[in-house]
Amino acid sequence: MDGMSEGKFYYCTKHKTVEGEEGCRAADRLGPYDTAEEAAHALEIAAERTKSWDNDPDWNDEPPKDA
């Protein structure tokens, strides 16, 4: 992650690394994130958001799933 002190950060799902704006193709990345630390937790953030959306009554007509 050398030289990545400015701009946005991404998590590359192919290489399992944090990268800057000039990185792998968009289909292989999650982001953008404001910090490298946030990008490093991209998979956890995505899992939390998915769980939240799966149980959001405004977007899901099914009853909430068990945790």
pLDDT tens across 10-45, in order?
Answer: 999 999 999 999 999 999 999 999 999 999 999 999
Structural domain span for residue 21: 9-53
Q: How confident is the model at residue 2 (pLDDT cuts 50, 70, 90)?
A: very low
CB burial readout 35-59, b (16+ within 10 A) else e: ebeebbebeebeeeeeeeeeeeeee
Q: Output the pTM of the full model.
A: 0.71
Q: Is the pLDDT of residue 1 over 60?
A: no
- Is 4 inside any structural domain? no
Q: For the chain, what is the domain count?
A: 1
CA angle 58, 52, 35 (to 5 degrees): 125
Q: Is position 46 within any domain?
A: yes
Higher pLDDT, 4 or 36: 36
Q: What is the pLDDT at residue 54?
A: 85
